[in-house]
Amino acid sequence: MLSSMSRKPLWPAADLIVESWVPILPTEMPREAPTFYFSSSGLRQAALSTIIKHKEIVAGAAFEDIASTCVEFLRTCLWPQEYKAIRSADDTLLDAFNTDDRLGSVEAKFDAFVKEKFSVKLFMAPLKCAGANGGVIPPKTSSPRLTDAWISTTGELDKFLEGRFDLGAQIDLSRFPPERDGRERFETSAHMALTWLVTLERNEERALGRLTTLLGAICVALGPRVWPRQSSARFGGVAHLTSSGFGFGAFYRFRLPAIHGNAVLREERDATGITIHFEDKFDLGFIEQVASLGTTSAEARLRRATYFLGLAYRSDEIARYLFCASALDALFNFDGYSLEKTAKLGLRSFSGDSESDNKLSWLLAIRGRLAHGKRETPQEASHYVRYWRRYDQEPLEGFWKLVRASIVAIAGNVSAYEKELNRIRDTAAKDGDGAIEK
């Protein structure tokens, strides 16, 4: 094997045995393709090397997707273009490409293949939503400079994509996938609208992360009182389209529940009696705030906290406790310090709740019993009933309010948040709190 082989990411996977050759003439291309056998350990090495070489392109992609890209290249790009060289191989592909020049040529093709395979795609996830009083929640049309948006019309989608992505498919936002021949059709209702979360990303995993962050921002926008209500009615999954594609692909492991806004009750009293009004309160500007966050450390923390709220919304009760704690960790904690210590400092500044210290201690106690396998349900934890009695509030609702209030306050003044992070770290260090929370 050439010494330069070890520097090439593709070749460890290329353990090829040639079978099924049916040539007509010695110099003619065979009627049947060869059978490729790949070394599983070599394929892992090839995938890891590809991640190192192309980390900006494949970052966040599933490992198996990167490995399958190596396989796809060898099966579809070398064959049939390089069939004469492959025919000359006695055992493996390395025998066919046995000079640095030939290896470099194939590696250049592989680099281009990876860039094309992981080029920016449009990902779209349907989200059914309704207002708390029978009205439909209006999505906020985001600025075209953003990479994520919540839309409901083709005009809003066109505005979002303008100058960045060309649609080759015929769009029909009433179906999933969102094209004329989409297999599922949304049944229209006066009280339920079909909206879409959209993002531009290079791979599925990163797209799911961005869509979940956008969902978290919507949950924050829909009201401070309780978790946004959801129903089990599900529609679609995630559709994706390449810049050169003319039809959507789709996968179904990411399905969103229908979302319902929260009502705020307002009383009017006069001589004739009391009138109660139900009002939908939405802070839709927050969605664009999150979608336009930059790359500073503080903004990245805020984005991750919103992501964990999105994960919590999609999850069951137990997971919500874990993800709310993760959101606080993202907002306020530093490596080597106790979450309870740093989060208490942060909540004092941003939650607006004078009881936040004691509430957090009890909420993290419930979370800890679940996370470490001491209890099977939150209700079994002793602090669950204690919290209810003390605050007349369901503990998970209290957790949500603390996290949500902090996120909203931080988004409104990121520069103050950056200064507060420095103070939290300095205070925790002075207190000698260096133990990572167990």
pLDDT in tens, 121-158: 999 999 888 765 666 676 765 555 677 889 988 998 99
pLDDT digits (tens, 9 = 90+) for 408-426: 999 999 999 999 999 999 9
Choice between 74 and 207, residue whose per-residue pLDDT is larger: 207
CA–CA dist 171, 248 (Å, integer): 10
124 and 242 Cβ atoms separated by less than 8 Å: no
287 and 218 Cβ atoms separated by less than 8 Å: yes
Confidence check: pLDDT of 25 > 60: no
pLDDT at 15: 47
Residue 123's φ and ψ, nearest 5 degrees, are -115, 135
Confidence check: pLDDT of 1 > 50: no
pLDDT at 97: 67
pLDDT digits (tens, 9 = 90+) for 197-240: 999 999 999 999 999 999 999 888 887 666 666 666 567 889 99
| Arithmetic mean of pLDDT over the chain | 81
Please state the rounded mean pLDDT for residues 312-338: 93
CA–CA dist 342, 329 (Å, integer): 8
Choice between 66 and 18, residue whose per-residue pLDDT is larger: 66
| CB count in 10 Å sphere of residue 360 | 25
**Type of residue at 389:** R
262 and 223 Cβ atoms separated by less than 8 Å: yes
The helix (H) or strand (E) run that includes residue 164 is: none
The helix (H) or strand (E) run that includes residue 185 is: strand 184-185
Strand partners, 266: 277
Token reading at 370: 């679940």
CA–CA dist 4, 291 (Å, integer): 44
pLDDT digits (tens, 9 = 90+) for 233-284: 567 889 999 888 878 988 888 888 888 766 655 566 666 666 555 455 667 7
187 contact partners, CB below 8 Å, separation of at least 6:
none
Token reading at 224: 């401070």
Residue in the structure block whose two tokens are 């906020």 = 140
